[in-house]
Amino acid sequence: MPRGRGDGLPPPGVAGKESRPRIRAADSCLNWNVFLRLNARLPALLLCALALMGCTPLYVVHPARTPALNLNGPPPDIVIFSMSGRCAPPCLAPRDNWDYLGSRGTLDRLADVFTAAGYRAQVSGYASNAAATFSSEYIGGPQRGYEALRADFARVARTWMRSARPPRLVLLGHSQGSVWLHHLSRVNPGVPVALQVDLDGICLAWKSDFGAGIRALGDAYGAEPSPLHACDAFWVAGRTVGVKDIVWPNVARGLEVQSKRLPARPTVSGGWPVNYLFEVTSNVRLDGTRSGIERFVSSREDHSAISYPNSDALAWVAGKAAAIAGEWKAEDARQDRTKPGR
């Protein structure tokens, strides 16, 4: 596995603010101290500015441009909940996990499909962590984890989903984020999910990453299954299937992307010629069928590259989602559910 790669870091060749190295403040300050000693002739003001820059965290999280989830307002037509995956060294997961699907524009790419179809969308992105909120020296600003997602989803279910025109719910997950979202749909069987999108759902390091954080929440989950069991196996149609690979009955449609298995030249989304981590098990229903589920293997993109908005993977997802949105529009017309002004 190449060093320095993973869900939370951009693939090689991807330009922009996210491609900047993630440097510990202590290390960068040490480097600048050496620089100062070797460059004593530079003006003092310039040296101070450089020192401050070296001691400042460099990694910035950008909010999605799609309107954010506003539970105090009227319901939109579409609500997209996204969960990002595990960050890579030198970060320490899950402490340094972050909402990269929202930051790099992947969440917006999916939302754009629905707004282009005439729907009003709101989005909310989360980081792979059991806690409601957490922070890290690597990330500019606090992050929201599964407990925040769970609370937001429950509030949507109690309010908007009981209205005369409930929104359609869409789930978008990458790597560990897909695992969290499959667990969410499992423990909320009465809440309909219109579409679930998985980008290389992976259980890597699940219990070692989240065991302590989940146990620290005590009995927060009550009678519902704990997320600790989100990577357990189920007996489905005569074979064992991981919980993360089950599209639950309350989920109408499923789109699954898996990254490349064989070496291949990367696309514009970046990545390595050889993949280091990939999903191989196809999603199924509880009866063993693949009803309402479609799968795409991105033969040129690695585990991280498929999570970028300019990837082949997202092009496939966007195309399929556009077709699904067209079906929704036809269904709305049949049921006379179209709102004024759409």
Where in the chain are the domains? 23-54, 78-334
Q: What's at 147, amino acid-wise?
A: E
The residues pairing with 193 across neighbouring beta strands, listed in sequence order, are: 251
d(CA 52, CA 239): 58
| pLDDT tens digits for range 320-342 | 999 999 999 999 998 875 555 44
pLDDT band at residue 21, thresholds of 50, 70 and 90? very low
Crossing angle of helices 312-334 and 106-116, rounded to 10°: 30
Tracing tokens 């098990």 back to the chain, one arrives at 281
Average pLDDT over residues 288-311: 95
**pLDDT of 8 over the 90 cut:** no
**pLDDT of 291 over the 90 cut:** yes
d(CA 177, CA 197): 11
pLDDT on residue 55: 39
| pLDDT tens digits for range 193-251 | 999 999 999 998 999 999 999 999 988 888 899 999 999 998 998 999 999 999 999 99
**pLDDT of 9 over the 60 cut:** no
Q: Higher model confidence: residue 17 or residue 201? A: 201
Q: Which two tokens stand for residue 284?
A: 């199924």
d(CA 183, CA 284): 15
DSSP one-letter string for 162-217:
GSSSPPEEEEEEETHHHHHHHHHHHH-TTS-EEEEEEES---TTHHHHHHHHHHHT
Contact 130, 217 (CB under 8 A): yes
Mean pLDDT estimate for the chain: 84
d(CA 123, CA 116): 15
Contact 136, 94 (CB under 8 A): no
pLDDT on residue 230: 96
pLDDT on residue 223: 87
**pLDDT of 169 over the 60 cut:** yes
| pLDDT tens digits for range 267-283 | 888 776 778 888 888 99
Q: Which two tokens stand for residue 111?
A: 């939302």
Q: Which fold has domain 78-334?
A: Rossmann fold (3.40.50)
Average pLDDT over residues 59-66: 87
pLDDT on residue 107: 98
**pLDDT of 53 over the 50 cut:** no
pLDDT on residue 337: 52
Contact 21, 89 (CB under 8 A): no
d(CA 1, CA 92): 17
**pLDDT of 7 over the 80 cut:** no
Tracing tokens 């690695």 back to the chain, one arrives at 302
